Amino acid sequence: MKIFGDPFYRVVDSEITIPGVSGTHILMQISDLHLAVSDELSDEAEREKAVSCEANWMTLREDFTRWHSEPFDDSKRIPSAKVLEKMLALAEAMRPEVLLMTGDMLDFVGPAGARAMRKALGGYGGRVIYVDGNHDAGTGGVREGGAEVVRLEGFSVIGVNNGGMTVCDAELARLKALCAEGEPVIVAQHIPALTEASREKIVGFGEYFYIDADSRDANAAELVRTERDEAAVKAVLCGHLHCFVRSEIAPGKPQLCASSALCGFVHRITVRG
């Protein structure tokens, strides 16, 4: 399969500097793939929904790129199942230390989608952090166990499921416990955090597209405060906006929002000291 040079892919590079980290570490992030599939075990309702959602996103992917002035061409007009195949093939070729899948990997919660995603990830040989988005919140059958933590040399990456505009008590506690260890932490989640530092870049998208420290949900508000105020948190990686936005949740603490994998967007993050 042709990988490098394939016009489908748009690899965007960013760098996160964490004092004390030795060596160079590569993370690969994809978000908002919106897989919509059925299979031989699907009932009629699931088959019909998969066809409807696939058709909807075939149009919406182009709309989002136009709204956000991102490039689009005919190479992007491929089924979501093919997008997933191509993204995992690229991950196999790039071999990042961690593949981050930051939500809305599935367009809707259904057995066929979960089966397809489990099968795809089962064939991938690298480490994965998979978090739910708003479209696929609660799909624990894809990646069970709640928040995942991958410990690398000098820092950790943790997944936080905030796709339901909140986070559960256990995952919030796990993040706080990891921060208390004192080692640098990068957080991967679906919905961006709105703070005074990120307000200018994020608030214009509307309340549907962020959580903030004043959120009515207490856990959502506490998550944002933790990410903003904990010295151990060095960056937040998210999606949901369907366009690439770089902001800060506090001075010197970047928040990188990835655009949609449906349009070939791949975010390659280099972490170094």
CA 256/CA 64 separation, integer angstroms: 18
Q: What is the pLDDT of residue 2?
A: 56
Size of the chain, expressed as the number of residues it contains: 273
CA 124/CA 122 separation, integer angstroms: 6
Span 81-103, average pLDDT:
96
Q: What is the pLDDT of residue 1?
A: 43
186 pairs with which residues across the strands? Answer: 157, 235
CA 80/CA 108 separation, integer angstroms: 13
Q: Which two three-digit tokens encode residue 209?
A: 């597209």
CA 123/CA 268 separation, integer angstroms: 21
Judged by DSSP in three states, 35 sits in: strand
Q: Where are the domains of the chain?
A: 10-272
Topology of 10-272 in CATH?
Transcription Regulator spoIIAA (3.30.750)
Task: Give me the sign of the Cα torsion angle 84, 134, 140, 26.
Answer: positive
- How far from chain centre, in Å, is Cα 247? 16
Cβ–Cβ < 8 Å for 218, 164: no
CA 100/CA 158 separation, integer angstroms: 10
pLDDT in tens, 107-118: 998 899 999 999
What is the rounded average pLDDT for all residues in the chain? 93
- Under the banding of pLDDT at 50, 70 and 90, the label for residue 72 is very high
CA 29/CA 19 separation, integer angstroms: 22
pTM flag (> 0.85): yes
Q: What is the pLDDT of residue 5?
A: 84
